[in-house]
Amino acid sequence: MKQIKLGFLVGLLGMLFPFLSRGQSNSLGDRAPTAMEPQHHTVHKQHITRKQKLLFRKPNVKHTPDYEYYSHMEQEAREKQREKLKEIKLRGVSHPRHTAEYKFYVRAETVAKEKQHVLRKMAKPQYSDITYFGHKHKPKKHLPYEMRYCKECGIRH
């Protein structure tokens, strides 16, 4: 009796198995690709608040008091330089651009320009590339078994 029940169960599973496996097929089979529904994925742009924009903004040196002071100094030196050049020419000096009065204002202008240049340079980050880890030169990448503890940054590399 047990053999008959077992045989009946095996025969029933043998008949049902092809039907069950056909229903679970995930492939397209011989269906046309147009039968698939097109999926529309929309990517929403992340909203950045005004406060976030202010936090991530790069510092603009050109609107600091120091920079404006030196740009004003440069303009003043240039104007006085022109006035002195006219005065010296009226006095009848043969080479007006080689006089000490004129050269003083030329030096004042160049110093102001140099100060502005230094302020712009100092505003940039010292180490903008993160792979330097605070080193002067980029550290070499060693194999894992050759890595050494770095005294400078405290990282094994």
| Residue percentage of the chain with pLDDT more than 90 | 26
Averaged pLDDT, 30-44? 65
Over residues 41-81, the pLDDT tens digits come to 777 777 878 877 776 666 678 888 888 999 999 999 999 99
Q: Which two tokens stand for residue 50?
A: 């005004």
HEC assignment per residue over 24-55: CCCCCCCCCHHHCCCCCCCCCCCCCCHHHHHH
Q: How high is the pLDDT of residue 82?
A: 93
Place of tokens 């605070």: 134
Averaged pLDDT, 82-94? 91
Radius of gyration of the chain (CA): 40
Most confident of 8-22, 58-72, 105-119: 105-119
Confirm whether pTM is higher than 0.95: no
Asked if residues 156 and 150 have their Cβ atoms less than 8 Å apart, the reply is yes
pLDDT at 103 over 60: yes
pLDDT at 109 over 80: yes
pLDDT at 35 over 60: no
- Helix-strand-coil percent breakdown of the chain, rounded to 5? 60, 0, 40
Residue 142 DSSP label? P
Q: Which of 84, 79, 76 has the alpha carbon at shortest distance from 103? A: 84
Torsion angles phi and psi, residue 130, rounded to 5: -75, -15
